[in-house]
Every structure is written in C-alpha cells, then in structure tokens.
C-alpha cells in the first residue's frame, strides 16, 4: 500500500490532519490501534479555543458543533467561598466553545469515511521504519490486521499516536530532550446526567482541594475533584463524590449543584511533559505524542490542533512548491506555542490546587494572586487572553 502521508493514530491530531490534507489534495492513510466505537466513546477534553473552532470550520466539520456546542463567554474563579467572573468577551473579545472531544472525533471520522478516506482500525504491532534523514528508502508504517502483515509506504510519517504511542519511543533516547514535571495530585472526573445549573465553568480553589464544574450539553454535567494521583475509585462511591463536590463548589451566593446518575468515573494523573525536537528526518510528532499538559488550562486538544495546523501548511508548501522551509521550521514553530501553553497550564495548576507541602506563606501568596487576578482588569485579561487561545502568526 502507498500514500503520501502515513498517519499513526486516529485521535483529534491524526484525524484532523487527514481531513486538512485531503482538502489540500494530499493523500493519507490513518493506522489506529483501537476500534471506532472505543474512540467515539472516550470522554476527554471539552473546551475548544476560538482558533480550534476556526480550524474545524476550515476543515468543514463544524455543522454539528455549531448546532450543539455551547459558546462560553467567560469562566468563574471561586475562592474563599465566592465566585468571581472572568469575562472573556469584554476583556479580549473572544469566546470558547464547549463541545466534547469525542464529538469532534465522531465528526472527523464521519467526514473522513464520507470522503472515501482510509482509516485502518484495530491495527496490531504497529511500527515505523526508514524515517531517518540517512535512510535511502521510503518511510514505512508496518502493522498487522486480522492476522495479516501489512506495509504502508509513504513520503512522510505523522506520529499522532498520543502519549502512550510507539512513534516517540521508536526514536533513540539521545535524539530527544525531555522536560517533565509531575504533580502530587490527580483529578477524579465524573460525567453525570444532570442539567447544568451554572452557564459557565467554575474553577474552585477550596481548602479541601480544587474542584471544577464543567458540562457537555444542556443535560450532562462534567465535574472534577483534586485527589491523590493513584486514588482508588472503590473508595469513592457516588454519595462521597457528590458530598465532596457540594462542599467544594457551592458558595455563599446560595448557588447549588444539581445531582444526577453518574455515567462515568475515572482518575487522571497530572503531568507536564515536552519531548523535542518534534521532527526527526521524515517523522513528525504532533499532539500528545510530543507534549502533555495538566488539564487545568484546557489546552491539550487545542495544542494537538495547533500542531496539525502547522504541519498541514508545511506539507502543502512542500507538495505545491517543493519548498522544505515549512517542514524545517515545524518543530520550532510548534514548540514556541507549546511552551506558552505549558507555562499557562502550570500556572493555572499552581494557582488553583491545594499543595499539601505549601507553607502558610505560600498559601497566602496564592490567595493574594487569586485576589489580584479577579480584581484587576489587566490581571484578568492576561488569564483570558491565554485561556481563549493565543492567536496564530499565520
């Protein structure tokens, strides 16, 4: 089998790349380890930056998002029992869209298949070869499907296979510089069939730990609690989850959280991770394959979309004009944005969580920072500008 761009992974990065390449007249095939139903049910991110919304429009996969997505004009920061609104629209003139990552994935898979694009689901033992600069033969993605070995020959490989994929670990250790930070807590997340009672997200810094109030639709609420990174879900029956959410989120205004049947419950560890460069010969890493952020800044999927935007434009430049400049500049361009998002995600994380080892001094400094951000227009604008997403330079 032959194609121009071989893509490993059908997450938001791989799927969007395939769609954008197709619209630019460049062929691709996606090799994915899981089945379609699994990808379409995997509950993850929910907040789209305005630039991500525009990319989905450019890719022509926006129809359902425009109908069902929820436009958000601000967020609330809660601390010391009170909510404080950060009004994105008046501060920076932009909004975000709340629309589940799995809905984006469903729309992208449908669009791909409708246009006759190829996604190989349930591929086993996926491996990559000949992507090195020194290789004299074409890059290959090999995999097994239904017991039969296959080889996909391509001009370039896009490693969009997430944090646990095979592309990044295929590289020799000496080829990558890794930057990492782990946090001493995780998030216990639930999805509940309950009507949201606040129109916007609430990020709460509470003495019992951080809590986040989010949503997916007019009937589904998404909620998170700061917990131990290896928290045992067996210790969290539904009643305990709700009781903790009420304590951390409800405030002195009398605002009340609405309960409903819990549809899903999980624990996520929190880490910051960057591996660079993002290009090695004819292999280009994109999305979680190259970087992870703690979810507090809602940046993970948005960064994956930003990488793919740069990669698609660079590939177009190569196929149309025989010009390598975009591909040569890919890693630096992505990493400049990645580090800004890393900084923001780290900052939001240390601003909103309770750190057990924090001294009373550090605790007061954190509360003063929250006070500053919510009482200064410029302080609030800096948060808003980054939360809605920094502009692209081209």
- Smallest distance from ligand RFL to CB 303, Å: 7
Question: DSSP code of 19?
Answer: H
- Rounded to an integer, what distance in angstroms lies between the CA atom of residue 167 and that of residue 280? 11
**Does 295 interact with ligand RFL (rule: CB under 6 A)?**
yes
Q: What is the closest distance, in whole angstroms, from the C-beta atom of residue 52 to ligand RFL in the complex?
A: 8
CB of 299 to ligand PHB, least distance (A): 8
Q: Which of 101, 25, 88 is closest to 56 using CA atoms?
A: 101
9 or 295: CB nearest ligand PHB: 295
Q: Which partner, ligand RFL, ligand PHB, none, binds residue 34 by CB below 5 to 8 Å per kind? A: ligand RFL
188 vs 269: CA distance, rounded Å? 9
3 binds, among ligand RFL, ligand PHB, none (CB under 5 to 8 A by kind): none
Residues 296-315, one symbol each (x = binds ligand RFL by CB under 6 A, - = not), give --xxxxx-x-----------
Q: Is 32 in the site for ligand RFL (CB under 6 A)?
A: yes
Within 8 A by CB and 6+ apart from 352, the residues are 77, 203, 204, 205, 210, 296
Mask for 174-213, x = binds ligand RFL (CB under 6 A): ---------------x------------------------
Distance of alpha carbon 44 from alpha carbon 197, whole angstroms: 21
Binding residues vs ligand PHB (CB under 6 A):
45-47, 201, 212, 214, 222, 295-296, 298
H-only helix segments in the chain:
12-23, 36-41, 50-58, 63-68, 88-92, 101-114, 167-170, 238-249, 300-321, 325-352, 360-375, 377-387
Whichever of 56 and 160 has its CB closer to ligand RFL, that residue is: 160
- Using CA atoms in the order 146, 151, 156, 160, what is the torsion angle rounded to 10 degrees? 20
According to the binding rule CB under 6 A, does residue 162 interact with ligand RFL?
A: yes
- 138-166 residues labelled b (16+ CB within 10 A) or e (exposed): ebbbbbeeeeeebebbbbbbbbbbbeebb
From first CA to last CA, the distance across the chain in angstroms is 34
Q: Which is nearer to ligand PHB, 62 or 296 (CB)?
A: 296
Q: Kindly indicate which of the ranges 106-114, 160-168, 199-207, 242-250 contains the residues binding ligand RFL, using the contact rule CB under 6 A.
A: 160-168
Residues numbered 262 to 281 that lie near ligand RFL (CB under 6 A) are 268
Tell me how far, at minimum, the Cβ of 101 lies from ligand RFL, in Å.
5
Which among 44-52, 144-152, 361-369, 377-385 is the span making contact with ligand RFL, rule CB under 6 A? 44-52
> What's the CA gap between 135 and 131, in Å, rounded?
7
Closer to ligand PHB at the Cβ: 106 or 282? 106
Burial of 357 (0-12, 13-18, 19+ CB in 10 A): exposed
- Give the Cα separation of 257 and 76 in Å (integer): 14
- Tokens 């948060």 map to which residue? 383
Compute the least distance from the CB of residue 166 to ligand RFL, in Å: 4
Burial of residue 178 (CB within 10 Å: 0-12, 13-18, 19+) is: exposed
Catalytic residues: 72, 203, 295, 299, 387
Q: CA 31, CA 135: separation in Å to the nearest integer?
A: 22
In whole angstroms, the minimum distance from the beta carbon of 365 to ligand RFL comes to 27
The footprint of ligand RFL on this chain (CB under 6 A) covers a number of residues equal to: 36
Q: Tell me the closest approach of the beta carbon of residue 96 to ligand PHB, in angstroms.
A: 9
Indicate whether 126 belongs to the interface with ligand RFL (CB under 6 A).
yes
Closest-CA residue to 53 (of 321, 352, 301):
301
Between 302 and 366, name the residue whose CB sits nearer to ligand RFL: 302
Q: What are phi and psi of 257, to 5 degrees?
A: -85, 140
Q: From the list 74, 165, 186, 196, which residue makes contact with ligand RFL (rule: CB under 6 A)?
A: 165
What pairs with residue 83 in β-bridges? 78
Interaction site with ligand RFL (CB under 6 A) = 8-14, 31-34, 39, 44-47, 101, 123, 126, 160-162, 164-166, 189, 268, 287-288, 295, 298-302, 304
């Amino acid at each position: 089998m032959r194609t121009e761009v071989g893509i490993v992974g059908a997450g938001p990065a791989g799927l969007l790349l395939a769609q954008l390449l197709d619209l630019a007249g460049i062929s691709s095939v996606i090799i994915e380890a899981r089945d379609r139903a699994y990808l379409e049910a995997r509950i993850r991110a929910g907040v789209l930056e305005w630039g991500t919304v525009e990319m989905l429009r450019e890719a022509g996969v926006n129809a359902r998002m425009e109908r069902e997505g929820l436009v958000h004009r601000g967020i609330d920061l809660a601390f010391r029992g009170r909510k404080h609104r950060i009004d994105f629209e008046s501060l920076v003139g932009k909004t975000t869209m709340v629309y589940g990552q799995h809905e984006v994935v469903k729309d992208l898979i449908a669009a791909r298949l409708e246009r006759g694009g190829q996604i190989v689901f349930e591929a086993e033992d996926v491996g990559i070869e000949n992507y090195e600069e020194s290789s004299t033969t074409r890059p290959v993605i090999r995999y097994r499907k239904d017991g039969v070995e296959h080889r996909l020959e391509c001009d370039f490989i896009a490693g969009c296979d997430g944090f646990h994929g095979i592309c990044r670990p295929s590289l020799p250790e000496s080829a990558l510089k890794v930057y990492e930070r782990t946090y001493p807590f995780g998030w216990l997340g639930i999805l509940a069939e309950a009507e949201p009672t606040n129109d916007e997200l609430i990020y709460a810094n509470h003495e019992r730990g951080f809590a986040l109030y989010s949503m997916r639709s007019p009937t589904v609420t998404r909620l998170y609690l700061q917990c131990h990174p290896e928290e045992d879900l067996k210790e969290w029956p539904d009643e305990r989850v709700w009781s903790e959410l009420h304590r951390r989120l409800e405030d002195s205004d009398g605002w009340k959280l609405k309960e409903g049947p819990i549809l899903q419950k999980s624990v996520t560890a929190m880490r910051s991770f960057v591996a660079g460069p993002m290009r090695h010969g004819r292999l280009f890493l994109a999305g979680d394959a190259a970087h992870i952020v703690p979810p507090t800044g809602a940046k993970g999927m948005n960064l994956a979309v930003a990488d793919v935007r740069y990669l698609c434009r660079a590939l177009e430049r190569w196929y149309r004009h025989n010009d390598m400049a975009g591909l040569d500049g890919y890693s630096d361009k992505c990493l400049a944005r990645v580090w800004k998002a890393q900084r923001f995600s780290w900052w939001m994380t240390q601003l909103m969580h309770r750190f057990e080892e924090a001294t009373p001094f550090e605790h007061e400094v954190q509360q003063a920072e929250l006070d500053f951000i919510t009482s200064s227009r410029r302080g609030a604008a800096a948060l808003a500008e980054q939360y809605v997403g920094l502009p692209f330079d081209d």
